[in-house]
Structure 1
Amino acid sequence: MEKSPMKKAFSILRLTVAVIAALCLVAAAALYCVSGGFMKQTYMEPWSKSYAGKYADPRMRLASVGLLAASNHNMQPWKISLDKSDPMVFYLYADSSRMTKEVDPYSRQLMISQGTFLEYVAVAGEKEGYRADISLFPDGAYDESDLAKSMDSKPVARIALNKQQPGSSMLYDASFLPDTNRGAYRATKLTGAQVAALEALSSADGVSVTLYQDRIDLGDIGRFALRSASIEAGVSRVMGESDAIFRANERQKNQYRYGYSVEGQGVSGFMKHMLQGLVTIFPSMNAGAAASENFIKSTAASVGHTPAYAMIRTAGNSRLDQVESGMAYSRMVLIGHTLGLAMQPLSQVLEEYPEMKAPYDEFKKAYAPDGGTVQMLLRVGVATRSVPLSMRRDVQSLIRP
């Protein structure tokens, strides 16, 4: 008996739905493969607490934790040298090959990143039962007229380990959590205890930490952040520098193990692979005008969901000041984790290339009128969701030849 028109239409609809579903599955599988979804994520290995345990040398174990620290553009610009005559001494050098000259022409952010590493090393030492005695610039200051060569020849720090009783693991455990959360934060203000704990990180050496969370400051600082992000998005050479270190898929992340990836926007799981597959096939999705638009939208979303900002200032702007600022920032991140707080640097207004000069000067006049330097500006708050960890290099790659 011939089917009724209604039954025929229903059969065709079911067949169409089945075909579309099959095509979607094929497309998803293809994107997953292009993303490298079946590959081992070697760039994630340093985040395992067992990673450092592979090394009998305590200097390597501490450096393995140090490389988990935040760094400018996630460049991880660190080199270490193990003292051959003293098994308890090693040196940290800035890696000049990892300068980001467009966005950070004076290498201020790169030097702050040296401090972030050192603080994580010190925290790991406390956990293991070592006091890390850190001497900054033991061979003298850099020659600023030939900065790259100076970085290669003069250490940022000498680290000497001295045995002591193992300390609390609280900050050490926090080292294995994401240092940056770019997602939305709850509207709730920080408590007095949280503010006090963070501002107590101000030191007698001239590094100060200040929190801002009243309505006027939130508005003013937010406008600076949006204006500077818009300026940066319009400077092609600066955006191009960021585009060049974007890792679109698992193969690239395993190859380079530094720079940016989609995880930075909080994307994880299956959707991460779908997005990575698309960006690999269509690179223009994350380059040029598209990248600039995404950057502005991301900054606007961040500013719109920020209950507090923090600034790290120094009285001057020497290389020593910059490194000590980085140490304060790492301590701030780690203590923040113990207080249930997330953080994200908003560095654009503090950058020193020509197009950013007007907002930079205005910001400095407003927030460092005494001639000091705002080394870092960051959002602070309780995150609405967790974010993935980012790429890290193998600790062996940090060793100077």
Structure 2
Amino acid sequence: MKHETQGQDGAESARRLSRRSLLKLAGGGAGLLALAGSGAITWRAVDNGVFAEGSGPAYEPWNLPVPTGRADLVRAAILAANAHNTQPWIFRVAESYIDLFADPTRTIGTIDPLLREQQLSLGCALENLLIAAPALGLHAAAELAPDPNDRGHIAHIELREASREASALYDAIPLRHTDRAAYRTDRAVPRETLDRYRRAAEDHGVSLVWLSDPEARHAFSDATVRATEAIIADPDQAADDYRWYRADWQEIQTLRDGVTIDASGQPALIRGAAKILPTTQQQNHDGWLRGTRDTQVSTAAAFGALVVADGNDLADRVSAGRAYQRLHLRAIGDGLAMQPLCQVLERADREESTGIGEDFSRELAGLFPGQGRAIMTFRIGYPTVAAPPSPRRAVEKVLI
């Protein structure tokens, strides 16, 4: 799942300037600073939010209030990790229950043809909601996939009064952001921490497999880079990925979704330049490939995979999303960063949905032999910078 999501989650990596574009920007005898002195360039920089990273109405939902009503559970839910930051959720709120539905209009098309990433995203939102309930003085019990005839009805959550309880996980909700930047290469994640996360995933009926030895890490890294190349070379997947990219400041504030430059993991100079000069789909994808190859897979302390018995079962997918969200919130408390890296899965889904081959499907099975079906993969490590937030739609936009 490309998350927040990705953004990667392939598209969750934001548009980057090609090396040629950067040379054109910084060269020509003027340089970036000289361009910044130009009135036109300065105005475009201001208009496109170069100096206002993570601000404006699109980012207000991250100021999570002390919960006072049922809608505040939804305010926590919408801050969940989700693929390409599509925010594919709808909520129906009543005094004694909340229903969670998939929004069929907010999909990633050929990037997610089997809706695996959408349903994982909805599981992440559900977990945030359940974590928020005790802070409001409620006990919440979720029934997954309550209607076998409606795969869009993700969960029915019964609410009843209980004592208010503080929670470190709830406090971490507004602090959790997908981190696409480099991770520290001089510090490994302790084995006991990885083991603790593995046991936590099992609480949701999901297996967490760590790829931490050099051979497994190399195999996953290589497959991820090749899958990224395959997505870029696939016209339909490339277009569907790019559709969720948001470059213009006003567009971000209006749509309040998608993957932004600020969340790309690139250095500040590159992000600022990319906001000033428009880039093409190919330049965006070239930057995504470079970031995947040169930063994301190369600096990960370890790679993780959430594995279930049946990769097509709705309840399994939602449970895996719940597990990922809780793991990421735990990671915040441990000073760790996480990012979904699901390109291999996205190509495997593409193969299954079209019959174009089984190259990545076989490769995925080879990475986790005899361990079930991997349905989400991610990297973990210690951060080098603070990850910025992604835009979020207002809670009123997701209620029915």
TM-score (norm 2): 0.83
Cα distance, 1:392 vs. partner? Answer: 0.5
Cα distance, 1:362 vs. partner? Answer: 1.7
- 2:391 paired residue number: 391
- 1:379 paired residue number: 379
Matched, 1:292 2:290: no
- 1:360 paired residue number: 361
Distance in 1, Cα, partners of 2:62 & 2:268: 17
Distance 1:217 1:270, change over 3 A: closer
* Contact map agreement 1:123 1:171 (CA 8 A) in 2: yes
Cα distance, 1:69 vs. partner? Answer: 0.3
Let me know the Cα RMSD of the aligned residues: 2.4
Amino acid at match of 1:308: A
Report how many residues are paired. Answer: 359
Amino acid at match of 2:350: Y
Structure 1 residue ranges without an equivalent (≥5): 1-15, 143-149, 280-284
Amino acid at match of 1:135: E
- 2:70 paired residue number: 59
* Contact map agreement 1:59 1:89 (CA 8 A) in 2: no
- 2:115 paired residue number: 107
Distance in 2, Cα, partners of 1:225 & 1:276: 27
SS of 1:393's equivalent in the other structure is coil
Cα distance, 1:172 vs. partner? Answer: 1.2
Mapping for residues 272-283 of structure 1, pairs under 5 Å: 272-279=271-278
- 1:313 paired residue number: 307
* Contact map agreement 2:176 2:329 (CA 8 A) in 1: no
Matched, 1:237 2:252: no
SS of 2:292's equivalent in the other structure is helix
Mapping for residues 158-173 of structure 1, pairs under 5 Å: 158-173=156-171
The answer to which of 354-363 and 313-322 deviates more is 354-363
Amino acid at match of 2:133: G
Instruction: Mark the structure with the bigger radius of gyration.
Output: 1
SS of 2:113's equivalent in the other structure is coil
- 1:42 paired residue number: 57
* Contact map agreement 1:349 1:356 (CA 8 A) in 2: no
Amino acid at match of 1:306: A
Q: Which has the higher contact order (CA 8 A, sep 6+)?
A: 2
- 1:121 paired residue number: 129
- 2:219 paired residue number: 220
- 1:75 paired residue number: 86
Cα distance, 1:266 vs. partner? Answer: 3.0
* Contact map agreement 1:233 1:295 (CA 8 A) in 2: no
- 1:325 paired residue number: 320
Identity %: 26
Picking from 31, 41, 54, the partner of 2:44 is 31
Cα distance, 1:38 vs. partner? Answer: 8.5
* Contact map agreement 2:127 2:326 (CA 8 A) in 1: yes
Distance 1:42 1:273, change over 3 A: farther
Cα distance, 1:34 vs. partner? Answer: 3.5
Distance 1:272 1:366, change over 3 A: closer
Picking from 326, 334, 352, the partner of 2:329 is 334
Distance in 2, Cα, partners of 1:255 & 1:348: 29
Distance 1:315 1:244, change over 3 A: same
Distance in 2, Cα, partners of 1:271 & 1:220: 30
Cα distance, 1:273 vs. partner? Answer: 4.9
Amino acid at match of 2:166: S
* Contact map agreement 2:177 2:388 (CA 8 A) in 1: no
Amino acid at match of 1:46: P
Amino acid at match of 2:172: A
Picking from 332, 341, 360, the partner of 1:346 is 341
* Contact map agreement 1:35 1:274 (CA 8 A) in 2: no
Distance in 1, Cα, partners of 2:256 & 2:267: 17
Distance in 1, Cα, partners of 2:141 & 2:35: 62
The answer to which of 175-184 and 261-270 deviates more is 261-270
Amino acid at match of 1:365: G
Cα distance, 1:210 vs. partner? Answer: 2.0
Cα distance, 1:330 vs. partner? Answer: 0.3
* Contact map agreement 1:67 1:76 (CA 8 A) in 2: yes
Distance 1:38 1:292, change over 3 A: closer
TM-score (norm 1): 0.83
Amino acid at match of 1:339: D
Structure number having the greater helix percentage: 1
SS of 1:49's equivalent in the other structure is coil
Distance in 2, Cα, partners of 1:45 & 1:234: 37
Distance 1:23 1:222, change over 3 A: closer
SS of 2:90's equivalent in the other structure is strand
Amino acid at match of 1:164: A
Distance 1:319 1:31, change over 3 A: same
* Contact map agreement 1:368 1:374 (CA 8 A) in 2: no
Cα distance, 1:357 vs. partner? Answer: 3.5
